[in-house]
Structure 1
Amino acid sequence: MQIARPEPGVAVVTLDAPATRNSLSRRTIALLDDTVRALSDDKGVAAIVLAATGPVFSAGHDLKELERHRADPDGGRAFYEETMQACAKLMQSIVGSPKPVIAAVQGVATAAGCQLVATCDLAVAANTATFATPGVNIGLFCSTPMVALARNVPRKRAMEMLLLGEMLSAEEAERYGLINRVVQPERVHDEALAIARIIAAKSPLTVAIGKEAFYRQIEQPLADAYAYAAAVMVENMMARDAAEGIGAFLEKRDPTWKGC
């Protein structure tokens, strides 16, 4: 795994194990989780880009690693439980991060790799990228990828992906709402950086407030969501950055953010 800071406020985390199709082994899951958490606490980072090397963004869980543990005394149950819990923790770390996470998908994203894309706040993909939750084809329903998928695409689209296990093109994934933008392969990195750059120019406090509020309200009934969002907006109005931003807009000048 590589970590770079190509410009102020932007961190790029790159999965760099093309020989294993950037599979989410237990070690990779732990490293990625630690990295996301560390960057989330880094005041010098405003947005995180998640990329990968090679023709595969991520093929999901390392099936060879999972199969090796069938020889464990318990048939692998403990290892499988720990792996799925660790993966769930990683996905929640991404959602819970105050920094927006942008997937830059250059190739194939399947199973938990597709889950990773769905979990990121935004996603840019090459027009040659493909997506699938194909577990049903090998007798292992993509139940944990389903959690992220069902929260990001319409229900019938999610069920179609889960039940058929077929590959989607980048254009189909964009229509489904799984990704935001489709670009030429050589533009993926630059497009993701451009989005990150725009976010990095905003008030970090405002972005953090908004991201947390988005994921909290979306799980609530309508009336509760409005009550919660109204309270969040009042607290946001009391922040220094809100006063600065509104003042700058009215005075026709650029704001100076302080993150408070």
Structure 2
Amino acid sequence: MSQSLLERQDQAGVATLTLSRPDAYNSLSLELMQALHAELDSIADDINVRCVVIRGSGKGFCAGHDLKQMLGEGEEEYYRCTFDTCSRLMQRVVSLPVPVIAQVHGVATAAGCQLVASADMAVAADNARFATPGVNIGLFCSTPMVALSRAVQPKHAMELLLTGDLINAQRAFDIGLINQLVPEAELETAVDTLAAKIASKSRKTLQIGKQAFYRQRELPLSEAYEFCSEVMVGNMLIDDAQEGIDAFINKRKPEWTHR
């Protein structure tokens, strides 16, 4: 991990990753995307982490791809590498075995909005703004569309994609892009509270649930129930399920082993 691009802090089972390109509104240069992907890979194997928070430094969350870098390169292979790297990064967020929370302030645009949509949950300051503005510069936000169209209803996604307009945090909440909006001064506290609640759970159980959620929603109803029934059978057989049920019956706090 490059300290100049990405910072990590761990506390009580929560890994906080801070995008650190404040002078460029944390735009996703190829190097920053690679650093973030590498750190997520590291977290995937870290049993001490049960929740991840992604946030931005400076005035905003993330302004999307670094267009200056992309225009400066100007070659097809570089463009292909950039968008393939971004696509793999967003899929890594989804496939990570622990939940990911986006902590949003300022703007989250284009691939920055994609990162919000890819996260399992998002909490935003009430003055945050969101957009997929590529259409305004002749570059339709096609890869952000993948995450956005899975996070909100199709007509809401199309409105954002076709107009390129900024929406405020209230609108983002109304269409389901974010879970909470809070006063900016309370943003960090709200995210800390949510992350701590998640981090108090069994990591193994969180992993089972997150993986099953994304798998079942792509299946027809009957297949989804069949799949999730098998997931619950497997879940019942893990140590933490036995511990959790026993703790509930005996009115005590469970002691997770994360197995």
Same fold per superposition (TM over 0.5): yes
> Is residue 20 of structure 1 aligned with residue 24 of structure 2?
yes
- CA distance in structure 2 between the partners assigned to 1:217 and 1:235 by the alignment: 15
Superposed CA offset, 1:12-52 (max 9, x none): 10011111110001000000100111112111111111011
1:64 corresponds to: 68
- CA distance in structure 1 between the partners assigned to 2:200 and 2:61 by the alignment: 28
Greater Cα shift, 24-33 or 236-245: 236-245
- CA distance in structure 2 between the partners assigned to 1:170 and 1:158 by the alignment: 15
- CA distance in structure 1 between the partners assigned to 2:68 and 2:201 by the alignment: 43
1:9 corresponds to: 13
Helix, strand or coil at the partner of 1:37: helix
Amino acid at match of 2:153: P
- CA distance in structure 2 between the partners assigned to 1:172 and 1:193 by the alignment: 23
Amino acid at match of 2:169: A
Deviation, structure 1 residue 244: 1.1
Deviation, structure 1 residue 137: 0.6
Q: Percent of pairs identical after alignment?
A: 49
Q: TM-score, normalised by structure 2?
A: 0.96
Amino acid at match of 1:33: H
1:52 corresponds to: 56
> Is residue 106 of structure 1 aligned with residue 110 of structure 2?
no
- CA distance in structure 2 between the partners assigned to 1:51 and 1:152 by the alignment: 19
- CA distance in structure 1 between the partners assigned to 2:133 and 2:99 by the alignment: 28
Helix, strand or coil at the partner of 1:220: coil
1:228 corresponds to: 227
- CA distance in structure 2 between the partners assigned to 1:132 and 1:195 by the alignment: 25
Q: TM-score, normalised by structure 1?
A: 0.96
- CA distance in structure 2 between the partners assigned to 1:240 and 1:3 by the alignment: 30
- CA distance in structure 1 between the partners assigned to 2:182 and 2:47 by the alignment: 30
- CA distance in structure 2 between the partners assigned to 1:241 and 1:221 by the alignment: 30
2:88 corresponds to: 89
Deviation, structure 1 residue 226: 0.9
- CA distance in structure 2 between the partners assigned to 1:104 and 1:188 by the alignment: 8
Alpha-carbon RMSD: 0.8
Deviation, structure 1 residue 187: 1.4
Q: Structure 1 runs of 4+ off > 4 angstroms?
A: none
- CA distance in structure 1 between the partners assigned to 2:119 and 2:48 by the alignment: 20
Question: How many residues are aligned here?
Answer: 254
2:47 corresponds to: 43
Gaps of 5+ in 1: 71-75
